[in-house]
């Protein structure tokens, strides 16, 4: 019986910790700030000049393709496969 009570106490503590993590807006703000940094980095590239795709991350490739080509890439693919797909649609 004591073991069951300890497990319940642990689960209540865990529940409180999860609620604290989910309730904090700082995580959302940080994620948005990170996305804004990536977007700003890719906005400097125009369609007239091809960026060096090999120097970009998969996330940057996905955002660049969405903004400049209007296509969504599958980030589960390899970086080289994503680059090939972009080059097919240029």
Q: What residue segments make up the domains of the chain, in order of their start?
A: 45-90
Sign of dihedral through CA atoms 41, 64, 32, 34?
A: negative
Q: Is the model's pTM score more than 0.85?
A: no
| pLDDT per position as a tens digit, 27-70 | 566 767 777 676 666 555 455 578 899 999 999 999 999 998 89
Q: How far apart (Å, rounded) are the C-alpha atoms in residues 41 and 60?
A: 8
- pLDDT-derived band at 84 (thresholds 50, 70, 90) equals very high
Judge contact between 86 and 65, C-beta under 8 A: yes
The residue-averaged pLDDT of 13-36 equals 64
Q: CA 53 to CA 86: how far, in whole Å?
A: 9
């Amino acid at each position: 019986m004591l073991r069951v009570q300890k497990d319940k106490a642990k689960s209540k503590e865990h529940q409180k910790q999860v609620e604290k993590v989910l309730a904090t807006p700082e995580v959302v703000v940080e994620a948005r700030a990170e996305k804004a940094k990536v977007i700003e980095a890719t906005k400097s590239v125009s369609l007239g000049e091809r960026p060096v795709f090999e120097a970009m991350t998969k996330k940057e490739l996905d955002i660049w393709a969405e903004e400049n080509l209007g296509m969504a890439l599958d980030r589960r693919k390899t970086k080289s496969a994503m680059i090939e797909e972009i080059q097919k649609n240029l």
